[in-house]
Structures are given as structure tokens and as C-alpha cells.
Amino acid sequence: MTASEAPPEWQAGGVDAGSAFDELVAAMDGALVVVTAATGDDRDGCLVGFHSQCSIEPRRYAVWLSKANRTHDIARRARHLAIHLVGRDDHDLAELFGGETGDDVDKLAQCDWEPGPGGVPLLARCSARFMGRVVESASGIGDHDLFVLEITHADGADVPDALLRLSAATDIEPGHGPTERR
């Protein structure tokens, strides 16, 4: 059978494709990061699991932000974003940026930070981070929008021994549900 002949609801070993896909993604156990954005005095950040390097030369990084998040709205207007690596021991920081919503809470008032390029907040506890200028964005591809960054700054001097992985953060109740839209 060719790919074009495959049934619309592909079955593998009696497991539907959606469940099988979820298991495979969980097995990869991706690292979580905190993405921050700013435009003028409007700033916020959120916990993100969808991100990846997407070009070697030039250096580019892709991050997908949930349309339900306030950070997404700020990122749509921002010129720069910052990506902060989160250590396994920084679960409380992940809970702040993943479990609270900027619609109700000023997350940045609850942690130390300083302004970086374009005013983007740089979290003091996450000194392993990089920043980039937004060079592309795409919407309409799902419940998250894509932002592609041209890397402009990076600090890898204090990379955590172990990164916080998705499997270690399943107890964090998201500030917004996956089907909420702004």
C-alpha cells in the first residue's frame, strides 16, 4: 500500500494514529523553555515545549507560541524574543510561566529580570539563554503560531546540568486550555 492509499484514520497495531503519535512524542521528552517578549511597556513570558533549531547557516531558531497566551499577542508585535533554558531544579519558575496567565498575573513582577535587546525580559535565574530578531512568522497552521528567530545574542556559560523535561512538568496546570483562543 502506498501513502496515498492509506486510510484516513490510519491504524497501527490496533492503536489509532493520534494515540500512537502522542506516545512517540512523549518518548522524545522534549526540554521546556521560557520564552519572553516585549513591546514598549507590554511584556510577558510563557513556558514552551514546541521549539527547535531550524537552520544551521544562517543560525535560525523556531518557536511555536499558543494563540491562547498573552505572550503570543506581544510576540506578534515584538521585534525580539528570548529563549531561556530551564533547569530541572527550576520547576517553580516553570510553574509560574506555565501555570499562570499574563491575563491575570504579572509573572515578571514575581521574578528577577533585566531588559535585553528590544526590551525583551531576560530572566536572572536562567542565564543560559539566547535572543533573536523575529524574521518570519506564520499563523493558521494550528493552535500555535510559528516565530522564526535570527540569533543575535547567546549566553551558554551557565547551562543547567539537567534541563526540565516535559515528563517532569506534567503536574503544571496550564494557565489557558489548549482550545482557548484570544
| Residues 13-30, mean pLDDT to the nearest whole number | 83
- Name the more confident of 54 and 179: 54
Residue 102 half-sphere exposure, CB side, CA atoms within 13 Å?
A: 23
For the stretch 79-131, pLDDT in tens is 999 999 999 999 999 999 999 988 899 999 999 999 998 899 999 999 999 99
- All structural domains of the chain: 15-167 (2.30.110.10)
Q: Full-prediction pTM beyond 0.85?
A: yes
What one-character-per-residue DSSP string does 106-138 give? Answer: -GGGGS-EEE-GGG-EEETT--SEEEEEEEEEE
